[in-house]
Amino acid sequence: MLQDSAQLDLMFQALADPARRHMVERLSRSSASVSQLAEPLAMSLSAVVQHLNVLEASGLVHTEKLGRVRTCRIEPKALRTAEHWINERRLNWEQRLDRLGAFLAETKDETEGN
């Protein structure tokens, strides 16, 4: 569990930056070269590479160099890990809110009955 926690920390830290979220969004549609990812961003190519290194260290992105072109692709398994963590929390809160709603409905019925 501790290893999962450390990996989740890396993922959420990577996703905390708007430029990296933009890159993940772009890569969720299809693979892209570093220069294609850099094109819409107002930063140097070396800055884009630094952001990609963070995404790759988090496990969200995989890069592969073929000749002079570095191609990047999303790692769906890593996204599923983050999604699973978020969904567990969402379900927990939905259950709590459902119990609160049931309690409030019972309390209202008891109050109206008196």
Domain CATH code at residue 86: 1.10.10.10
- Residue 25 contacts by C-beta under 8 Å, 6 or more apart in sequence? none
The answer to whether the beta carbons of residues 33 and 69 sit under 8 Å apart is yes
Give how many domains the chain has, as a whole number: 1
Q: Which two tokens stand for residue 78?
A: 């890593």
Q: Tens-of-pLDDT digits for all 114 residues of the chain?
A: 445 788 899 999 999 999 999 999 999 999 999 999 999 999 999 999 999 999 999 999 999 998 999 999 999 998 888 889 899 999 999 999 999 998 898 888 777 776
**What is the model's pTM?**
0.76
CA atoms of 66 and 81, how far apart (whole Å): 28
